[in-house]
Chains A and B, each alone.
Chain A
Amino acid sequence: MGVRAVLGPVGRETTYRRWVYLIIGGALLVPYVFLASTLVSVAGDRMPIGLIVALILLVMVAAIVVMSFIPAVRVIEGTAARELLGDAVPEHATRRVTSWPARWRTAAWAVLHLLVGGVVSGITLALPPAVVSSLAVPFTGSFYLGQASAPMPKGWAGAWIPALGVLGLLLLVHIVSWCGALFIRLAPVLLGPTPDDELAALRKRAEHLAERNRLARELHDSVGHALSIVTVQAAAARRVLAADPAFVDKALGAIEESARSALEDLDHVLGLLREDRAPTVPQWTLDDLPGLLDRTRIAGVAVESTVDGEVARLPAAVSREAYRIVQECLTNVLRHAGKVPVTVRLAVREAELALDMENPLEGADGSRPGGGRGLAGMRERVTVLRGQMSAGAQGGRWVVAVRIPLRSGMRDEELVAE
């Protein structure tokens, strides 16, 4: 207590940051004040002053509330609060929100910020001239404020007036500090995440963790296993290098095979990790092919299709890309050849996925087949999967052939399963 408690806030940097925040609130209030006074003065002339003030307040608050519903306004308001009031303001305050409970609470914050800020700004503007003026009172015997002046006791008898002025300044510093503390208290409640937000974030994190654990387990099982074989076999081979060349030969073969399969597994797991980033769009796979063909038929294209082999056992990435390739092919047919009959043949073989599509060239609109972005996109997808693709006219028909190697054979059931 004592001097420290009284002068403490004066020396603290945070006090002045809080002050800036409040003054910004006051500055933001100005246009609302003009808006509200204009509207109210237009609406009614001869109203009692109390009613006018109440109406102005009401219109102001309503306008502030509506403005702060805009997500971008919240981001600016929240960022200012976090920068000037410190990290006690939750990070969530700087994010866009769209849920109505969150918007209402943002609005409450904005109203408080602007109104309290307005009052503090007013005092901040008015007080310093008054204090300066009060310093002169003991010498001049009168208190000037603007044009007006009031007679005051001169000399030592008036010494309490400048003292009062300085006390007033000190009080203002305390008010600012206290208001800042109030906002810091309120920030988690009004700008923090709602319980629903927290639940959603928690669920997301749990899902993320589960996914990470799944990947860790996968690496543990597949790559760990393969590398163990590599280590043990290499160690053994080195030990019996001279004594048992036949064993060394077999060991080298085992090492090669294990390392290769470890790389394939890594490929898949890393692929899953990369996919992790943008899984927001629905991921169609060849399992959804019947639906795609049905939709194409509804669009007026006669589709004839055959599927050999178990599509469901394809690696997920292959299945997904193959679906998109079929989709792009069908789109191309519609765009370039019009509503002509299309044949789609899909075959899942031991080491590759074969996709053949063809359609007659003569188009309803006579436009040139092939080319364009669709074909480029298809090539890109096929290249990523290290496959091969050919597309071109053959005897009056447009023929597309795609081959995608299934490098791991069919050992990736688990990966496809989810």
Chain B
Amino acid sequence: MITVLLVDDEELIRAGLRAIIDSEPDLSVVGEAGDGAEVGPMVARLRPDVVLMDVRMPAVDGIAATRHLLETFAEPPKVLVVTTFENDDYVYDALRVGASGFLLKRTRPDDIIKAIRLVATGDSLLFPAAIRALVAAHGSNKGNRGLAAAGLTEREAEVLRLMATGLSNGEIGEKLFVSLQTVKTHVGNVLAKLGARDRTQAVITAYESGFITPA
């Protein structure tokens, strides 16, 4: 069972998302918060796997709340930022502070479900094309951010590139003719060497450092 916490100041959005999520047998909404300020205590109490986080909220916005979660909890839930518009300036900020992905409020229910499952397992990157576009629009090449110094092996670099295209571990294994276990080891090494907490963070680092160009 994947547990979900909904954070949105609009009650009608929460109600709609709850109905969609609860209609799946393996997903369950365990709580709702109307502002970023309520998120910390609720996560401590409910321990959800995934938090669906609105960006603009009256007191504490989704970016600050996401940052707080990742700094406070040793094993924080995965954060999916939920937004109205794709080119929202805040989306990229949210990804940079550690959100695992973002969802548009207009996303079809099936894709919302898929996205929650994907983020919960962390097996592949959510919406690789959208993330590439976001980096192209917002990301700056802020030096190499230690990527060269991270000392990725050639294989690990290859795995990172494939991660950025949105392939899952299994698909990467097929492409490189190695076992799933080997891929998992490579992915683990990449994350460790880049100091990234998940694929999204690793890929953003790769884009921002210029290791991959978001052309």
Give the residues in chain B near A247, CB-CB below 8 Å. 15, 19
A228 within 8 A of B: yes
B12, B17, B20, B109: residue with the most chain A Cβ atoms closer than 10 Å: B12
Contact between B12 and A233, CB atoms less than 8 A apart: yes
Nearest-neighbour CB distance to chain A for B202, whole angstroms, equals: 30
Contact between B85 and A236, CB atoms less than 8 A apart: no
B45 within 8 A of A: no
A244 within 8 A of B: yes
Give the residues in chain B near A228, CB-CB below 8 Å. 10, 13, 84, 105-106
Contact between B23 and A232, CB atoms less than 8 A apart: no
Task: Give the CA-CA distance A167 to B25 in the complex, in Å.
Answer: 96
Task: Give the CA-CA distance A311 to B49 in the complex, in Å.
Answer: 52
Chain B residue nearest to A251 (CB atoms) is B16
Chain A residue nearest to B23 (CB atoms) is A239
B19, B23, B84, B106: residue with the most chain A Cβ atoms closer than 10 Å: B19
- A235: which of B10, B12, B84, B108 is its contact (CB, 8 Å)? B108
Give the residues in chain B near A233, CB-CB below 8 Å. 12, 15-16
Chain A residue nearest to B21 (CB atoms) is A236
- Given contacts A235-B20, A240-B23, whether A229 and B10 have CB atoms under 8 Å apart is yes
Chain B residue nearest to A228 (CB atoms) is B105
Contact between B85 and A232, CB atoms less than 8 A apart: no
Contact between B12 and A258, CB atoms less than 8 A apart: yes
Give the residues in chain A near B20, CB-CB below 8 Å. 232, 235-236, 239
A220 within 8 A of B: yes
**CB proximity to B under 8 Å, residues A162-220:** 220
* A240-270 to B contact mask, C-beta < 8 Å, 1/0: 1001100100110010001000000000000
Contact between B109 and A235, CB atoms less than 8 A apart: yes
Contact between A236 and B84, CB atoms less than 8 A apart: no
A220, A228, A250, A254: residue with the most chain B Cβ atoms closer than 10 Å: A228
A383 within 8 A of B: no
Task: Give the CA-CA distance A129 to B131 in the complex, in Å.
Answer: 76
Task: Give the CA-CA distance A168 to B109 in the complex, in Å.
Answer: 84
Contact between A220 and B23, CB atoms less than 8 A apart: no
Task: Give the CA-CA distance A254 to B19 in the complex, in Å.
Answer: 14
Q: What total of A-B pairs shows CB separation below 8 Å?
A: 57
Task: Give the CA-CA distance A220 to B19 in the complex, in Å.
Answer: 25
Nearest-neighbour CB distance to chain B for A260, whole angstroms, equals: 14
- A236: which of B10, B19, B106 is its contact (CB, 8 Å)? B19
* B93-117 to A contact mask, C-beta < 8 Å, 1/0: 0000000000001101100000000
Task: Give the CA-CA distance A373 to B109 in the complex, in Å.
Answer: 58
* B5-46 to A contact mask, C-beta < 8 Å, 1/0: 000001011011111100100000000000000000000000
Nearest-neighbour CB distance to chain A for B32, whole angstroms, equals: 14
- B16: which of A224, A227, A232, A244 is its contact (CB, 8 Å)? A232
Nearest-neighbour CB distance to chain B for A408, whole angstroms, equals: 18
Contact between A240 and B19, CB atoms less than 8 A apart: yes
The tally of residues in B whose CB lies under 8 Å from a CB in A reads: 16
Task: Give the CA-CA distance A225 to B10 in the complex, in Å.
Answer: 9
Nearest-neighbour CB distance to chain B for A251, whole angstroms, equals: 7
* B102-139 to A contact mask, C-beta < 8 Å, 1/0: 00011011000000000000000000000000000000
A231, A254, A258: residue with the most chain B Cβ atoms closer than 10 Å: A231
Give the residues in chain A near B109, CB-CB below 8 Å. 235-236, 238-239
Task: Give the CA-CA distance A259 to B172 in the complex, in Å.
Answer: 45
Task: Give the CA-CA distance A238 to B12 in the complex, in Å.
Answer: 15
Contact between B12 and A254, CB atoms less than 8 A apart: yes
- B105: which of A232, A244, A258 is its contact (CB, 8 Å)? A232
Give the residues in chain A near B23, CB-CB below 8 Å. 239-240, 243
Chain A residue nearest to B108 (CB atoms) is A235
**CB proximity to B under 8 Å, residues A254-296:** 254, 258
Task: Give the CA-CA distance A236 to B15 in the complex, in Å.
Answer: 8
**CB proximity to A under 8 Å, residues B57-108:** 84-85, 105-106, 108
- B19: which of A227, A229, A231, A244 is its contact (CB, 8 Å)? A244
Chain A residue nearest to B88 (CB atoms) is A220
Task: Give the CA-CA distance A361 to B109 in the complex, in Å.
Answer: 68
Give the residues in chain B near A224, CB-CB below 8 Å. 84-85
Chain B residue nearest to A240 (CB atoms) is B19
A227, A236, A247, A258: residue with the most chain B Cβ atoms closer than 10 Å: A236
Give the residues in chain B near A258, CB-CB below 8 Å. 12
Chain A residue nearest to B22 (CB atoms) is A240
Nearest-neighbour CB distance to chain A for B200, whole angstroms, equals: 23
Task: Give the CA-CA distance A232 to B13 in the complex, in Å.
Answer: 6
Contact between B85 and A235, CB atoms less than 8 A apart: no
Contact between A229 and B12, CB atoms less than 8 A apart: yes
Q: A231-B105, A235-B108 are in contact. List 16 more A-B contacts (CB 8 A).
A: A220-B85, A224-B84, A229-B10, A231-B106, A232-B12, A232-B17, A233-B12, A236-B15, A236-B16, A236-B17, A236-B18, A236-B20, A239-B20, A239-B109, A240-B23, A247-B19
Q: List 19 A-B contacts (CB under 8 A).
A: A220-B85, A224-B84, A225-B84, A227-B106, A228-B13, A229-B13, A232-B12, A232-B16, A232-B17, A233-B12, A233-B15, A235-B16, A236-B15, A236-B16, A236-B20, A239-B20, A240-B19, A240-B23, A258-B12
Closest 4 CB pairs of A and B: A232-B16, A236-B19, A228-B105, A236-B16
